[in-house]
Amino acid sequence: MIGGLDLYKSGYPSNPAAYLQLVSQHQGLANGLWSLWILGDFLLVAPTVAAYLILRHYNKTMALVGTLIAGLYIFYDISVTELNSLTLVSLSHGYASATTDALRASYVGAATYGYAALPLQTVLSFGVGSVGWLLWCVPMAKSLFGRPTAVFGVVVNLVGIIGAAAPVVSSSILGWLQVVAPPLIGLWFIVVGFKLYRHSNQFAYLDGTTYPTVQTATIER
How many domains is the chain built from? 1
CA angle 126, 40, 195 (to 5 degrees): 95
Give the distance, in angstroms, between the CA of residue 172 and the centroid of all CA atoms in the same chain. 21
Separation CA 62–CA 47 (nearest Å): 16
| CB-based burial, 157-181: b 16+ in 10 Å, e otherwise | bebbbbbbbbbeeeeeebeebbeeb
Q: What is the pLDDT of residues 76-111, one digit of tens each?
A: 999 999 999 999 999 999 988 888 889 989 999 999
User: Which domain does 57 fall in, by range?
Assistant: 2-220
End-to-end C-alpha distance for the chain, whole angstroms: 53
Q: What is the pLDDT of residues 19-74, one digit of tens each?
A: 898 888 888 888 888 889 999 999 999 999 999 999 999 999 999 999 999 999 99
Separation CA 29–CA 120 (nearest Å): 22
User: Are the beta carbons of 54 and 140 closer than 8 angstroms?
Assistant: no
